[in-house]
Structure 1
Amino acid sequence: MKTRFRWIIAAHLLLGAGIAGATDSSTPVGTWQQIDDVSGQPKSIIQISEVNGELQGKITQLMNLTPEEIARDGENPVCRKCEGVRKDEPIKGMVIMWGVKREGEVWQGGQILDPAKGKIYKVKLSLSESGQKLDVHGYIGISLLGRSQTWVRQEQ
């Protein structure tokens, strides 16, 4: 009887650990592969986290750097076109999205930085494909104008 009880306890502990490690697909919090809207190639890995009730995104890895980018900056490019505190800072490790809050089925109200252009845009996020894809729409003025990228959720 004691052995059966131990197996039941062990099964509950393993199940609990599996649930705790699972990705919540109902929120953008997690790790995402950014797919460039021009080239269609993966450009970076971005970690979205919740900080004080707001989402922020940080670049954790750069991918598919062009030969020109590597010749100019090596494997760790800096944000040459950025202004203020981000000017000439390494792009890897940079917070590029901040202040985003949930409003119904979308997350918006924050800003996103395009390190290649050094420009900051308003941002709107929406999940699709059962939370496995994230539509990231950056815009100036009204959200009907601007550009969108699709980010793909990465397993953790």
Structure 2
Amino acid sequence: MRYISMLLLFTVISLTGVAQNKDAILGQWINSTGEAHVEIFKKGTKYYGKIVWLKTEKDEKGIVKTDLKNPNASLRSKPILGMEILKDFVYDDDKWTDGKIYDPKSGKTYSCNMNIKDNGDLNMRGYVGISLIGRTEVWKRIK
């Protein structure tokens, strides 16, 4: 009976290790185009991300790139570098859900879910309405 108890305990501990650590998403990621590095961080119980590196921080005229497509005209002069583009994600059942992702190239904000694949890549699923109608990008962790 003692061996069975030990076996059950070992099995439970092993299965617990398979589950995603809620803070596994923290750190820097490179987006799918290689144009930006995004640092994902935590505020309270929610997860956020900001652009911490741009391949080209300035445009062809040497002017710092700003959020020109933002629907709010008062934010169009805000630099893209340092911009918070991921907001309000909560960890639930091995994924980060109910967040928003902002695309400074289009000025649009999308609902978004994220999960880490077995190979360590980050799946970003942006969508409008339901997640079946959307687009997935794969981000890579910066080591």
Scaled to the shorter chain, the TM-score interval is 0.7 to 0.9
Match of 2:69 among 81, 89, 92: 81
Match of residue 28 from structure 1: 25
1:59 equivalent to 2:56? Answer no
Task: Name the CA shift for 1:150/1:87 in 2 (closer, same or farther; >3 Å).
Answer: same
Residues 1-156 of structure 1 mapped to structure 2, 5 A cutoff: 27-36=24-33, 42-63=34-55, 65=56, 70-71=59-60, 74=62, 76-84=64-72, 86-130=75-119, 132-155=120-143
**CA pair 86-147 structure 1, distance change in 2 beyond 3 A:** farther
- In structure 2, the partner of 1:10 is none
Write the distance in 2 (CA, Å) between the matches of 1:141 and 1:97. 18
Aligned CA RMSD, in angstroms, stands at: 2.0
Deviations 1:91-122 (A, max 9, x none): 00000011000110111111110000000000
What is the number of residues matched between the two proteins? 121
1:82/1:88 contact within 8 Å kept: no
Gaps of 5+ in 2: 1-20
Over 3 Å counting, the alpha-carbon distance change for 1:128 and 1:75 in structure 2 is farther
CA displacement 1:121-156 (0-9 Å, x = unmatched):
0010010134x210011100000111111110011x
**Mapped partners of 1:31, 1:107: distance in 2:** 16
Structure 2 length normalisation: TM-score?
0.77
- Which protein is richer in helix relative to its size? 1
User: Quick check: 2:48–2:87 contact (8 Å CA) kept in 1?
Assistant: yes
Q: Write out per-residue CA displacement over residues 13-32 of structure 1, whole angstroms, 9 at most, x where no aligned residue.
A: xxxxxxxxxxx796211110
Give the letter aligned to residue 40 of structure 2: I
Name the % identity: 27
Dislocated runs of 4+, deviation >4 Å? none
**How far apart, CA to CA, are the structure 2 residues paired with 1:88 and 1:45?**
21
